[in-house]
Chain A
Amino acid sequence: MSKVRIMTGNSAAAAAVMLCDVQVVAAYPITPQSQLAEMMSQYIESGELKAEYVRVEGEHTALTVCISASTVGARVFTATSANGLLYMHEQLHWAAGARLPIVMCCVNRGVGAPWTIFNDQQDSLAQRDTGWIQLYCRNNQEIHDTILQAYRIAESVYVPVMVCYDGFVLSHTMMPVEMAEQEAVREYLPPYRPHTILTPEDPRCLNPVLFPNRRADSEGVLRDGYMEMRYKLEAALEDALEAITDASDAFAKRFGRNHGGLVWDYRTEDAELLLVAMGSLASEATLAADALRERGIRAGVTGVRAFRPFPKEAVRKSLSRAKAVIVFEKSISYGNEGALCTEIKGALFGTESRPAIYNYIAGLGGRDVKSRELEAAAAECWTDLEAGRREKKTTWLNCITG
């Protein structure tokens, strides 16, 4: 008997967290995440979820609570958006360096100044160097399922996972979601086995100062310097590529739903023009691809689901035959171009593929992005390509720019 309900993205997330037998939740309210935090406290206070809820006084504390609770062996959860994420930035680095399998939902929202409460992906993209795995969801079903996968991924490679979904567009919009079965989730997710040793029976000092060079312990064995320890985090992120794919495949097998692992392809097999995006924007791009096909342009969409670790091989595979690639993104790395575009270009460097790559910044601060705008932009790029204009300045879609 399927359990399909119409629910918001925040509700779908909360329902998934509950299914994961999370033991400690610490979250501070911020639009558009607040309802997610509220629902978690509802579940916990009603007894539906047996967990500790710490009503923290700020986001920096929220993530810190997750860090120490995870260290001592509890499965934890937090969620935030925008400035809340920025406030916990220091601790994002800490959690990754401490190799803790924390799962956090980032309900994507633009950052101040000036204020916006509406959606863009600047908040999470700005955290791309912290060492967290980042997965972008395109609909509420995917939010639900990705959280379940996130714990499995995090706990297998000991790297924290950020599950990102667009604020208001997904968090507050109702869509059909089929809830996973509790027993199936418990089989899919083995219990958390912490690598950390923080117990009176075996006293250790965790995450102290490390020297630049390796240093011998009391038995004369050379132990890691700071650089080795940090290298291990990078190595784990590389291992995470496989972990993400495995978790996705195992999930598809058990639950019958497949969101694509690292990258999902829409009509890419024979595509000459590819739209690339993340999250709900990528979903919107599929409509644009269909419309372009009507016009006779063989268009497709490369949906980047995992931004970190960056799925170089999967991206190369998806983009290799395209003549034009248009990267649409809801963020910008100021002083250069969209971060996704830079990563795409980097992935193709050194290969035989030489598509023209165009970058569009779209939807900042919640400005609505319509599929016909994506279609028009892509068609214009196609015209540019045919006229030999293989490069052009980053375009801000539907925005006054001087």
Chain B
Amino acid sequence: MPENLFKINSKEYILPGSRACQGCGLSLFYRYALKALRENTIVTLPACCLCVLQGLYPSTPVMMPALNNSFASTAASASGLVAGLRALNRADTTVVAIAGDGATFDMGIQALSGAAERGTDFIYVCYDNEGYMNTGTQRSSATPMGALTTTTPILTKQQPKKDFLKIMEAHNIAYLATASPSYPLDLYDKFVKAKKIRGTRYMHIHVPCPPGWAYPPKDTVKMGRLAVETGLFPLFEMENGKFRFTGRSKTQAERGNRLPVINYLEKQGRFRKMDAEQQRQMQAMVDAKWEEYRRKLED
């Protein structure tokens, strides 16, 4: 194994033989997040796909201390870890809350808003596979419009994806970033950066899910890449409110060469019932969002 391969921490924190699906986007993101966060870290998580990846008693594949808690509690659990560690003079340990879109956008939103409002010194990571995937692909508020899920099995999801990044932006937190496991080095760098920042840090990871999105496992990296290249999931960060694109999205912002959204939609079974009007709306939404980003850059 070459020294310093890709100039990142070479240690693997997830031992082989985990319970994650073949081609799991979460698995790939978690691999790089842990490499970047390194040893002096405690993770807390709710019931979700990650909870299954973390393994069933008495074994875990993950070589990082992790505390499970109930579904609504992730940010609250992190708040308690932060307070406890501070009281014990161990505040240099990084507390990282990791939850899916369900536990973040929906049931966990209260606890996250509370923790962010209090300026809690922790990293909150939402891995967004755009549905309640652990329980079998039911719809969440993070599910894109037009997607089939087991609770939107005929009519598709009617509402657009909740603009959660805007909600987190409104909390005026220290650091906010998006990342994708399809761009693992960009993801790694952001976690390294986040670890050094004090205050509430929110990381939003787009995590392709083969069974949930209905595409073959071999295409996970490609799917994440298409999400970025169509501009549906831009890579950016906001440090103390200052916005900047990173990586591929930065290039696209400069060159204006976003792929049409249809390139992404047509590759996933969950969008097969999307009608032309919904597709048009989604393209319009992406275009409008990028207009917003352009104005943010100008500020």
Contact = CB atoms under 8 A, between A and B. Distances in A.
Contact of B58 (A58, A60, A94, A223): A223
Interface string A88-103: 0011001000000000
Given A60-B72, A198-B42, A200-B42, A52 B83 contact: yes
B57 A215 contact: yes
B51 A64 contact: no
Interface residues of A, number: 47
Given A57-B114, A61-B111, A200-B93, A205 B66 contact: yes
A211 interface: yes
A54 B57 contact: no
Given A56-B76, A61-B114, A205-B54, A74 B88 contact: yes
B83 A67 contact: no
Given A57-B114, A198-B67, A206-B67, A23 B88 contact: yes
Contacts of A73: 84, 88
B111 A55 contact: no
Given A24-B83, A72-B81, A58 B42 contact: no
A205 B88 CA distance: 21
A67 B52 CA distance: 21
A66 interface: yes
Interface string B40-83: 11101000000110111111101111111110110011111101
Contacts of B87: 23-24, 51-52, 69, 74
Contact of B56 (A24, A72, A210): A210
B12 interface: no
Contacts of B80: 24, 26, 54, 64-72
Main secondary structure of the interface of B (DSSP, over half): mixed
A57 B111 contact: yes
A10 to B, nearest CB: 23
A90 B70 contact: yes
Contacts of A209: 51-52, 56-57
A5 B55 CA distance: 54
A66 B69 CA distance: 12
A216 B64 CA distance: 21
Interface string B213-252: 0000000000000000000000000000000000000000
B59 A217 contact: yes
Contacts of A218: 59
B67 A68 contact: yes
Contact of B79 (A54, A206, A207, A210): A54
A208 B55 contact: yes
B86 interface: yes
Q: Which among B67, B77, B110 has the highest number of chain A CB atoms within 10 Å?
A: B67
A26 B115 CA distance: 13
A224 interface: yes
A24 B84 contact: yes
B292 interface: no
A199 interface: yes
A80 to B, nearest CB: 15
Nearest to A58: B110
B65 A74 contact: no
Contacts of A200: 39-42, 64-65, 93
A56 B79 contact: yes
A203 B54 CA distance: 12
Q: Which of B84, B93, B111 has the most CB of A within 10 A?
A: B84
Contacts of A295: none
Interface in B3-56: 39-42, 44, 51-52, 54-56
Contacts of B66: 203-206
